[in-house]
Structure 1
Amino acid sequence: MKTVKTGLLKPPVFSSVEEERQHLKERLAGAFRLFSKFGFDEGVAGHITARDPEKPDHFWVNPFGTHFSQIKASDLLLVNHDGDVVEGDRPVNRAAFAIHSQIHQARPDVIAAAHSHSVYGKTWSTLGRLLDPITQDACAFYHDHSLFDDYTGVVNDVEEGRRIGEALGNRKACILRNHGLLTVGHSVDEAAWWFITMERSCQAQLMAESVGKPVLIDEEHAEKTSKYVGNHHAGWFSFQPLWDRIVKEQPDLLD
């Protein structure tokens, strides 16, 4: 009888910094393409960043004003923590720098962070509430997301970014009241997946509450489920089918 191996895929191991950087940039471009495909783009709002593997105080980010659907790996900007573009010839979104520089500074474990003005995320954010454990997918955020319970306008100052970083704490996600969602991860894949599934969890709870009172998963099972679907590897692994899809449909993102 033939034995079928059921072990999960694991994140790649790189032989050089250059190889790791190219992989990171390709995944970042792929994440932008997926965000566009899922409708997470609105004008010039939104950004995903990834810490450079060689220079931990630098991060890669989308150029300001370039549509998510058109971003290629070669379009990405390298920005230092002073806000200077050190690689690339396009401007950087000031809000991207203000928020993400402080997230990366406060969380050395974080490789990538994602934020956009997605419809259900920003709608849920107006309630000033955390998500409830009403579905298996929402359990990924059980006791692992926070609320930035303030809004003072467009984030243009690093002090505001610092306060968002404090609100995030050691969690994987933060709901920015009257603004939207922010997720982080140990890889671009993970941060992007948490954003995608958190947006859908917001949608699910909004829909459920529109017709009744959702039944919550009890604490014991929510905690158990969180450890299964909310760990770092689960986040990375869940992104892989989406990566396969987008790179097959839009291979130019690798350029």
Structure 2
Amino acid sequence: MEAPPDNDVLWARALHFQHQDGSPALQGVSLGVREGELLAVSGPRGSGKTTLLRCLSGLVRPQGGEVWFNSIPVHTMGPLSRERLRRDRFGWIDPAPVLVPELNAWENAALPLMLRGTGRRRAKAAALEWLDRLDVGGRARSRPHELRQAERQRVCIARALAVAPAVLFADEPTAPLHRADRAQVLRTLTTAARSHGITLLLATHDAQTAALADRSVALLDGRRVRTVHLPPLAETAVAAGAAGAPGTEGRAACSLSA
């Protein structure tokens, strides 16, 4: 087993993963991510972006290949060890907001910190700081059912940032937001990553979002390709509406040479 390069905080080699129906999600993907880097994983829907992030973060074990975090072989770790790694070192943002319904907004944002053992007062202060930065500080005492979907997503982003993770995995993090809100939230997310030294992996099918990263890797049908030409989100929506067919936003022109 070959250890990763010293300057890569995350390193993966020849990752393979199949869905339960047997269809391939990853077919030999390899990449390295430097510490503090903002890396966009781009590609149309169904290209393997989410599966790649799930394998790199330890949410699932790849069925083939290796994943390393620093000098830790994530691919050989058991479920409990991977859970501790995710709790202590990683952050995750889903494309749809998932919150604990019994907790209010600041309690949801502070929950991972308290699970790490941080005192309630310090955890609350950190949660409120990020809720304010994301313009939902005024809803800190509201329960999830009292919040709009865009507000719930901002709470999820605050929750991921409050723990100051070593690596933050963001899977289409602004998908539920209106276009007017996306730029501000993405600016907060990328600025926070750079100022706090957080390595950010950002999965997106939007070219404008991918352009915010330091570097981009493209996936198509579970393989790395050189380019995937993604239209801006506004153009995509117009094209989909004109075609009258759902899911048109996932189509892209690509270069298959890897």
Provide the TM-score with structure 2 as the length reference: 0.28
Provide the TM-score with structure 1 as the length reference: 0.29
Which structure's residues are more often helix, by fraction? 1
Which structure's residues are more often strand, by fraction? 2
Query: Which protein, 1 or 2, shows the higher relative CO under an 8 Å CA cutoff with sep ≥ 6?
Result: 2
